[in-house]
Structure 1
């Protein structure tokens, strides 16, 4: 059973809440701009919260946005030491540039020996379809195995509504993404691969005496500090863009899918990022030791464990509204051993205008093993008493953010 606060904590917080001054009337939440895209989302990198969006879980043809996942898989293999940036990849007929007429490519030729580093630059900057096949074959032996790796990573990241069938993004009936999933992937890329992500901000790449520019026009916009991520276009997908920018220590991720032109995907993304930085901020709530007191573990050794808030408890809120934000803490008071580190044992919910704006799991900071029977006899006596108290209808008052 999950109960909000424990009884002693309830009395403490109720007294605290009663002593607070009357809150001023909260301002209306900022209305997001009109975005001319079939689907779009704005996400905070720090908290992972969706600030605004439309059709965020609607499946859409991905085009070259698939290459973000392709480079993510390559980056993870580099990080694990399974491949190296200076590995030389022999270009097969499958990766021959002439296999991709009328589409973006590095202009690879059969038999060429090209480094993994050059190929990854060719995927990210030049959007080379031939380079994706060359990397897929080098990493996994053949494309089918690499695609399996792509989908395993997608599942691990929680990209529940996306599925990949090729490494380059050319139209395929069974391949699709969502705006939300692409924001999740981009957040993971920035977090997990800090040595690879900077490639996305390079404005050009030269290979074989052919210089190609980065198609992300926001990299040239001096009013925003955009440092990635990827454009995409096919007839089915329309013009799409995933972008990320940082301002005064705050990073936002914007995804627009299916706009009408390359200039439109750029202007709509800029509109979204500018609005987000103007009206939202990340905050890092602090909790006292009494609010996150050690939690009892029945029949456990130790008999209580310390807790932490997932993602460090960072939340994204409208600017100037911090004083109107309240929160409640909920614990599992029937928690039994064994308990693993990172196990969910409760949650924190933040409210604005009586609506939940953020929720974070409470996690076990340490493990608790099952205690020997002779050490758990006290719990056999006290647990029924605790369950009786926990079943009472406590009505905790939310605490105001300070």
Structure 2
């Protein structure tokens, strides 16, 4: 396995706060180890710093992330599996939105209300329901609102059966898709989060899922912020997410509660160009759920700000190349390289380049080949930013590749 190379930049780079608008933040990920080359998109934050200023929450499990920066601002027991209750309905909706976007279903399609859906999640179940009548056809559009606004367990089963033929088949789709989008601590046993053995998620997975919904399906995200849903001229359902009703910029996503799991909430809010995602879980009361999520969002919005490190097109550093027409390839960001740091930061940071190498030629301009790791001087806030090849590097001839191999054996490319 090739070594992970690290090239340290100026140990005390001076950067300046951004004052322009609109703010542009490139994708950032906080990870526990060097990123493998050619692995595609950077992994979502796997580790995070202690919160600046000693912030703490009484939620047993929590995470706060900046969605645009892929940066975790705060976390507490974020990787422990727990019973997510209705928050797991977000995965059901992720599949519904995927099918809509692919054109395999339409909003006006009517899905049949089976006896299983009616008994298990409808009126006879005495659980959260949209009360869809047995043996009727309900449009997908109304079923989505039945989930996002009313948290209807029947609506989830009806959608599952309409898409996959049975809830069992749909659950397999849920678990398969969870792996595809990077959920590592999640397993689903049903479509609605009702108590079931092995139905678990983590706070981090819920944040990843929320970000996936926001980024991948912006055309459907408005359903989460809908305050009321009038159904069959008989029911008026009010959105169960209390933060949607508060004037703090929150526009989604989902609450959850079971006796076994306590009160939980996944919420997202936007102020200016900054979007935050918060997850709290395991709280004792609905009031605690609302207040802890609100306080965490407020803290996040006021405690972090963007800094400019490199302008677009500026070379950050070089990476070593094996078998190329050049021994080094310039590294650049995808546009401006901006950081998200505590608002109290002076702008002094330490930075290093990490990559698996030497990098084998040929290399195409725009290939992601390294990571810029930046640490704030005043805190343990860490940003990890993908870096890309700034130019094409062709493959050298056989003789030159042989010389490169000897250099690696003799000097380990410490040139």
Same fold (TM over 0.5): yes
Residue of 42, 51, 55 corresponding to 2:73:
51
Query: Corresponding residue for 2:93?
Result: 71
Q: Return 5+ residue gaps in structure 1 as ranges.
A: 22-27, 395-402
TM-score, length basis structure 2: 0.80
Aligned to 2:58: 36
Check 1:115–1:37 CA distance in 2 against 1; reply closer, same or farther (3 A cut).
same
1:180 to 178, 189, 204: 204
Q: Which runs of 5+ in 2 are unaligned?
A: 16-50
Secondary structure of the corresponding residue to residue 60 of structure 1:
coil
Decide whether aligned partners of structure 1 residues 365 and 152 sit closer, same or farther in structure 2, where only a CA change above 3 A counts: farther
Distance 2:335 2:265 in 1: 27
1:184 and 1:269 mapped to 2: Cα distance?
Answer: 17
Aligned ranges 1:229-248 → 2 under 5 Å: 229-248=253-272
State how many pairs are aligned. Answer: 373
> Which secondary structure state, in structure 2, belongs to the residue aligned with residue 127 of structure 1?
coil
Matched position secondary structure for 1:30: helix
Partner of 2:44: none
Contact 1:47 1:316 in 2 (8 A): yes
Instruction: Report how far residue 93 of structure 1 moved.
Output: 1.3
| 2: CA distance, partners of 1:301 / 1:342 | 17
Deviation at 1:192, TM superposition (A): 0.4
Structure 1 residue aligned with 2:300: 276
Alignment of 1:285-296 (within 5 A): 285-286=309-310, 289-293=314-318, 295=319
Report whether the alignment pairs 1:195 with 2:219.
yes
1:92 maps to what in 2? 114
Shift of 1:391: 4.7
- Asked whether 1:81 is paired with 2:103, we answer yes
Could you say what secondary structure the match of 2:125 adopts? coil
State which of 350, 360, 364 in structure 2 corresponds to 1:336. Answer: 360
TM-fit CA distance, 1:352:
2.1
Task: Give how far 1:99 is off.
Answer: 6.1
1:98-113 residue pairs with structure 2 within 5 A?
Answer: 98=122, 101-113=125-137
Task: State how far apart, in whole Å, the 1-side matches of 2:126 and 2:269 are.
Answer: 31
Q: Is the 8 A contact 2:14 2:349 kept in 1?
A: no
Kindly indicate whether residue 349 of structure 2 is the aligned counterpart of residue 317 of structure 1. Answer: no
Larger of the two Rg values belongs to structure: 1
Q: Determine if the alignment matches structure 1 residue 114 to structure 2 residue 138.
A: yes
CA RMSD of aligned residues (A): 3.1
Superposed counterparts of 1:386-401, under 5 Å? 388=410, 391-392=413-414
User: Scaled by the length of structure 1, what TM-score is found?
Assistant: 0.83
Structure 1 counterpart of 2:285: 261
Compute the displacement of 1:150 (Å): 1.1
Partner of 1:213: 238
Counterpart of 1:326 in 2: which secondary structure? strand
300-309 or 57-66, which deviates more: 300-309
1:205 to partner: Cα distance: 0.4
**Comparing both structures, which one devotes a greater share of its residues to helix?**
1
SS in 2 for 1:171: coil
- Over residues 45-70 of structure 1, what are the superposed CA-to-partner deviations in whole Å (9 max), with x where a residue is unaligned? 11222111211111111110011111
Query: Aligned with 2:347: secondary structure?
Result: helix
